[in-house]
Homo-oligomer: A and B are copies of this chain.
Amino acid sequence: MSVTAAAGFEAAGVAAGIKANGHRDLALVVNRGPRHEAAAVFTTNRCEANPVRWSRAAVADGRADAVVLNSGCANCYTGEQGYQAARATAQAVADAIGCRVDDVAVCSTGIIGHQLPLDRVLPGVAAAAAELDVGGGPRAAEAIMTTDTRVKQAEERSPAGWTVGGMAKGAGMIAPGMATMLVVITTDAVVNAEALHRHLVAAADRTVNRLDVDGCMSTNDTVVLLSSGASGVTPDPEEFRMALTAVADRLAAAIQDDAEGASHTIDIEVVGAASEPDAIEVARAIGRSNLFKCAIAGGDPNWGRVLAAVGTTRAAFDPFDIDVTINGTRICHAGAPDADPATVDLAPRATHVLVDLRTGDHTGMVRTTDLTHEYVDINSEYES
């Protein structure tokens, strides 16, 4: 159940000394082929990190032989020196595994505004290359963790004989247009780069792009999808997209569940919308309300804060014809009080908010979490 679940992939995760605590901090995922098709989607933050700038160009031709990822340093706002550091990292991988430098994608996560310590990264790449293994997925998943408290992996196996596997990291700075989220998904299905890209965009749109832990869009978000074709099986496109979406969705749910300081996960489902964009806009607005997120942390099913968030959107709705249901209890009907909020059970960690706009038949879902002391602690203490 890892990034090496699909045939044709090897991975490693080593401690290169980038993190001060000595934990694993450098991961390498290598596609041994026979095919080397690739696609990727990136943050839409205009202040993008150097590894994003590098990888966007590297994957543009639809080929990647490897992805190298480090935690402990985002290599963002590090100027030309930082861009050259991303390039040097890719070159070290290319030298170690024997491929072209521009067939290596680079991902970084960690502190912004610090130069990548190449004196540790380059030996780390060599060490990782020496440990590459078909069983290396879990170690790679461990090496990309920052404030994550557990590794995040997922896998789908098709009866047709192909597999999709993946790993992710991400716990904070999680907002649409992805997150401080690095995701690598691999498959041995035979799918060309153009189709990979199409499937990846569709899958990301419904999964990682609907996570919003803190409304803060990252500079480093990257999702890379690699295909080795090693199963020799060309999948049914619909089945492949579903499997890919399932893996991405499970990784997104794992990020939500491990979100910084969260005491509740909150799935915000909007129904009865005039369009899907309306549903998503409303769900996002609720998911970004600090007041609502604090209320859930305190066990208060505060539907007034839900409607206050809905009122900031451009979606079609009538304020006097909205229903809000939390964990199965409808506490607002037609924009006015319904069942007693005291009857809502907020003890479970998983929280479900259902908003019915009663305008159309479109739906949408956004995943978020509550806002707690621990979120503040983690983000107050994380050093510059």
User: A311: CB under 8 A from chain B?
Assistant: yes
Q: Which single residue of chain B is at the shortest CB-CB distance from A220? A: B308
**A312 vs B335: C-alpha distance when bound (angstroms):** 33
Q: Type the 1/0 row for A126-152, where 1 means its CB is closer than 8 Å to any CB of B.
A: 000000000000000000000000000
A-B contact pairs, 14 of them (CB 8 A): A46-B311, A47-B307, A76-B304, A79-B334, A113-B304, A172-B291, A173-B308, A215-B289, A217-B308, A219-B304, A294-B375, A298-B379, A298-B382, A301-B384
User: A371: CB under 8 A from chain B?
Assistant: yes
User: A372: CB under 8 A from chain B?
Assistant: yes
**A104 vs B382: C-alpha distance when bound (angstroms):** 52
Q: Is the CB of B79 within 8 A of A384?
A: no
User: Which 10 interchain pairs have the tightest Cβ spacing?
Assistant: A112-B304, A298-B380, A47-B311, A294-B379, A79-B336, A45-B311, A46-B311, A47-B319, A113-B304, A341-B384
Q: In the assembled complex, how far is the CB of residue A142 from the closest CB belonging to chain B, in whole angstroms?
A: 24
Residues from 1 to 56 in A contacting B, C-beta threshold 8 Å: 45-48
User: A373: CB under 8 A from chain B?
Assistant: yes
A77 interface neighbour in B215, B312, B335, B383, Cβ under 8 Å: B335
Q: Is the CB of A309 within 8 A of B216?
A: yes
**A331 vs B207: C-alpha distance when bound (angstroms):** 36
**A305 vs B317: C-alpha distance when bound (angstroms):** 35
| Contact-size category for A | 35 or more
A310 interface neighbour in B47, B74, B172, B337, Cβ under 8 Å: B47
Residues from 333 to 362 in A contacting B, C-beta threshold 8 Å: 334-337, 341
User: A224: CB under 8 A from chain B?
Assistant: no
Q: Is the CB of A295 within 8 A of B376?
A: no
Cβ–Cβ < 8 Å partners of A308 in chain B: 45, 47, 112, 173, 216-219
Copies per complex of this chain: 2
**A100 vs B319: C-alpha distance when bound (angstroms):** 29
Q: Is the CB of B332 within 8 A of A77?
A: yes
Cβ–Cβ < 8 Å partners of A317 in chain B: 46
Q: Is the CB of B332 within 8 A of A290?
A: no
- Interface residue ranges, A against B (CB under 8 Å): 45-48, 74, 76-79, 82, 111-114, 172-173, 214-219, 288-291, 294-295, 297-305, 307-313, 317, 319-320, 332, 334-337, 341, 371-373, 375-384
Cβ–Cβ < 8 Å partners of A82 in chain B: 336
Q: Is the CB of A216 within 8 A of B290?
A: yes
**A375 vs B291: C-alpha distance when bound (angstroms):** 9
Cβ–Cβ < 8 Å partners of A303 in chain B: 77, 113, 384
Q: Is the CB of B312 within 8 A of A217?
A: yes
Cβ–Cβ < 8 Å partners of A373 in chain B: 373, 376-377
Q: Which single residue of chain B is at the shortest CB-CB distance from A219? A: B308
Known: A45-B308, A219-B307, A300-B384. 20 other contacts (CB 8 A): A47-B311, A77-B304, A77-B319, A79-B320, A79-B334, A82-B336, A113-B332, A114-B337, A214-B291, A218-B308, A290-B379, A291-B379, A294-B380, A295-B382, A298-B382, A299-B380, A300-B383, A304-B384, A373-B376, A376-B376
Cβ–Cβ < 8 Å partners of A305 in chain B: 112, 216
Cβ–Cβ < 8 Å partners of A299 in chain B: 380
Q: Which single residue of chain B is at the shortest CB-CB distance from A214? A: B290
A112 interface neighbour in B172, B173, B307, Cβ under 8 Å: B307
Cβ–Cβ < 8 Å partners of A77 in chain B: 303-304, 307, 319, 332, 335-337
Q: Which single residue of chain B is at the shortest CB-CB distance from A76? A: B304
Q: Which single residue of chain B is at the shortest CB-CB distance from A299? A: B380
Q: Is the CB of B47 within 8 A of A111?
A: no
